[in-house]
C-alpha cells in the first residue's frame, strides 16, 4: 500500500486535484459563514421557508438578517455545484474504480444531507431565539455531518492527487484505535455545537465560570443549559486520548508522515485547549467562537490525515531468511 495511484496530469486531469483541494477549503469557509448565521441570530432571516426565502426565490427588500441567511444558502448551493463538478471531472479523468470517484460521490451525498438537515431546522422553526431541546439535537447532527463532509473532501483530494487507496482489512488495533479517535472527535464536535448554542441563547452568568455552571443546573435551567458543561469535559478526555494515540501510532506505524502529522495534531490540540479556556474566560465573544470552530475543523482534518497516513504505513515484514543466509 505504499504505492500511488496513477492520475493523468495533462489537460482536464490536472484540474482534478486542484478542484478537490479548492472544494475542501471552500467548504471550511462555508462552515464558518454558517456559524456567523447562528451567532447573529439570522437563521430565521428567510422565515420558516426552505428552500425558498420568505416564500420567494430572491427576497425583495431584504433585512440584514435575510441577507446573511440568503447568502449562506447561496454559498451552500455553490458547494453542491463544486461537488458535482468534482464528480464529473473524476469520472472523466480517472479509471473505473478509482477511489477519487467514490470520494467525490460521497462528498456530494453529504452536502445534500447537510442542506436537508438545515432545511429541517428552518421548517421546524429551530432557529433564531428558539430554545427547543430539539434544536440542540439538530445542531449536533449538523456538525457531525459537517465533519464527515470535510473528511470525505480531504480523502477525495488525497486520492485525486495520486495517494493510495485505503485497505481496512488486516489493520488490527490501529484501525480500532483510529475509529475510537474519530468517534470521540465527532461526539466532541456535537457537544461543542450544543455548547455554542447555549452560549448564544443563554449568556454566561456574571462572575466566574463556576457561577455559570451553577445556573446551568438551577431549577429553571433548560436541557441545552444542562448539556453545556459536557463539552469541556469531553474536550479533556478526547485530547488526552488523541495525544496517547499519537505516541501509539509512532510505535505501531513508524513513518515520517505519521511523525509529522502526529506532531501537528498535538500542536493543534494545545492551541485548541488554550482557545477553549480563553473562550470561557472571555464569556464566549463572537470572534472567539469563530476561532474555536476554525480550530475544531483543522483538528478534525489533521486527525483524519494522521489516520490515513497510519493506515497506509503498513509495515513490510521481510520473509524469513533461508538456511545459511543472513537476513538483510
Which tens digit of pLDDT belongs to each residue from 171-182?
Answer: 999 999 999 999
Residue 187 predicted with pLDDT over 60: yes
Residue 1, all three cell numbers: 500500500
Q: Estimate to the nearest angstrom the gap between the alpha carbon of 61 and the chain centroid.
A: 35
Mean local confidence (pLDDT), 293-314: 95
Residue 275, all three cell numbers: 482557545
Residue 136 predicted with pLDDT over 80: yes
Phi-psi region of 321 (alpha: psi -120 to 50; beta: other; left: phi over 0): beta
DSSP codes of every residue in 17-65: HHHHHHHHHHHHHHHHHHHHHHHTTGGGTTTT-SSSBTTBSS-SS--HH
User: Is residue 194 within 8 Å of 228, Cβ to Cβ?
Assistant: yes
Confidence at residue 302, expressed as pLDDT on a 0 to 100 scale: 98
**Predicted TM-score of the model (pTM):** 0.88
Higher pLDDT, 210 or 31: 31
Confidence at residue 193, expressed as pLDDT on a 0 to 100 scale: 92
Residue 249 predicted with pLDDT over 90: yes
Mean local confidence (pLDDT), 290-312: 97
Confidence at residue 228, expressed as pLDDT on a 0 to 100 scale: 84
What is the Cα–Cα distance from 278 to 293, expressed in whole angstroms? 14
Q: How confident is the model at residue 8 (pLDDT cuts 50, 70, 90)?
A: very low
Q: How confident is the model at residue 322 (pLDDT cuts 50, 70, 90)?
A: very low
What is the Cα–Cα distance from 59 to 120, expressed in whole angstroms? 20
Residue 7 predicted with pLDDT over 60: no
What is the Cα–Cα distance from 225 to 211, expressed in whole angstroms? 13
Q: Around Cβ 250, how many Cβ atoms within 10 Å?
A: 15
Lowest mean pLDDT among 7-21, 81-95, 124-138, 223-237: 7-21
Q: Which residues contact 128 (CB under 8 A, 6 or more apart)?
A: 41, 43, 44
User: Is residue 42 within 8 Å of 68, Cβ to Cβ?
Assistant: yes
Confidence at residue 197, expressed as pLDDT on a 0 to 100 scale: 86
Lowest mean pLDDT among 36-40, 47-51, 121-125, 320-324: 320-324
Residues in the chain: 328
Confidence at residue 240, expressed as pLDDT on a 0 to 100 scale: 98
Residue 280 predicted with pLDDT over 90: no
pLDDT tens digits, one per residue of 34-82: 999 988 888 888 988 898 898 899 998 889 999 999 999 999 999 999 9
Q: How confident is the model at residue 323 (pLDDT cuts 50, 70, 90)?
A: very low
Packing angle of the helix pair 133-160, 172-201 (nearest 10 deg): 140
| Mean of all residue pLDDT scores within the chain | 88
What is the Cα–Cα distance from 6 to 159, expressed in whole angstroms? 10
Phi-psi region of 163 (alpha: psi -120 to 50; beta: other; left: phi over 0): beta
Q: What are the extents of the domains in the chain?
A: 1-165, 169-315
* Residue corresponding to grid cell 428558539: 130
How far is the CA of 65 from the CAs of 46, 136, 142, 149, 185, in angstroms? 8, 21, 21, 26, 32
Residue 299, all three cell numbers: 483538528
Confidence at residue 235, expressed as pLDDT on a 0 to 100 scale: 95
Amino acid at each position: 500500500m505504499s504505492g500511488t495511484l496513477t492520475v493523468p496530469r495533462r489537460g482536464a486531469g490536472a484540474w482534478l486535484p486542484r478542484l478537490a483541494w479548492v472544494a475542501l477549503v471552500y467548504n471550511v469557509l462555508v462552515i464558518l459563514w454558517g456559524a456567523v448565521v447562528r451567532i447573529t441570530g439570522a437563521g430565521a432571516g428567510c422565515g420558516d421557508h426552505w428552500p425558498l426565502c420568505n416564500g420567494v426565490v430572491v427576497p425583495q427588500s431584504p433585512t440584514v438578517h435575510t441577507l446573511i441567511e440568503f447568502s449562506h444558502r447561496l454559498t451552500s448551493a455553490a458547494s453542491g455545484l463544486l461537488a458535482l463538478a468534482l464528480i464529473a471531472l473524476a469520472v472523466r479523468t480517472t479509471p473505473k474504480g478509482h477511489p477519487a470517484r467514490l470520494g467525490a460521490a460521497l462528498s456530494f451525498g453529504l452536502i445534500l444531507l447537510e442542506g436537508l438537515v438545515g432545511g429541517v431546522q428552518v421548517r421546524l422553526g429551530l432557529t433564531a431565539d428558539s430554545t427547543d431541546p430539539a434544536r440542540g439535537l439538530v445542531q449536533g447532527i449538523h456538525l457531525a455531518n459537517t465533519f464527515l463532509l470535510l473528511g470525505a473532501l480531504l480523502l477525495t483530494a488525497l486520492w485525486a492527487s495520486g495517494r493510495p487507496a485505503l485497505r481496512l482489512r488486516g489493520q488490527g488495533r490501529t484501525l480500532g484505535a483510529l475509529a475510537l479517535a474519530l468517534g470521540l472527535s465527532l461526539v466532541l464536535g456535537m457537544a461543542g455545537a450544543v455548547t455554542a448554542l447555549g452560549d448564544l441563547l443563554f449568556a454566561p452568568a456574571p462572575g466566574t465560570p463556576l457561577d455559570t455552571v451553577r445556573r446551568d443546573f438551577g431549577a429553571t435551567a433548560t436541557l441545552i443549559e444542562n448539556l453545556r458543561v459536557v463539552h469541556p469535559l469531553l474536550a479533556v478526555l478526547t485530547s488526552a486520548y488523541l495525544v496517547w494515540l499519537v505516541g501509539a501510532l509512532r510505535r505501531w506505524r513508524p513513518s515520517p508522515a505519521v511523525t509529522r502529522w502526529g506532531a501537528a495534531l498535538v500542536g493543534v490540540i494545545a492551541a485548541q485547549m488554550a482557545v477553549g479556556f480563553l473562550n470561557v474566560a472571555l464569556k464566549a465573544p463572537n470572534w472567539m467562537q469563530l476561532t474555536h470552530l476554525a480550530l475544531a475543523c483543522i483538528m478534525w482534518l489533521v486527525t483524519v490525515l494522521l489516520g490515513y497516513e497510519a493506515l497506509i504505513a503498513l509495515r513490510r515484514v521481510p520473509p524469513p531468511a533461508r538456511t545459511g543466509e543472513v537476513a538483510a
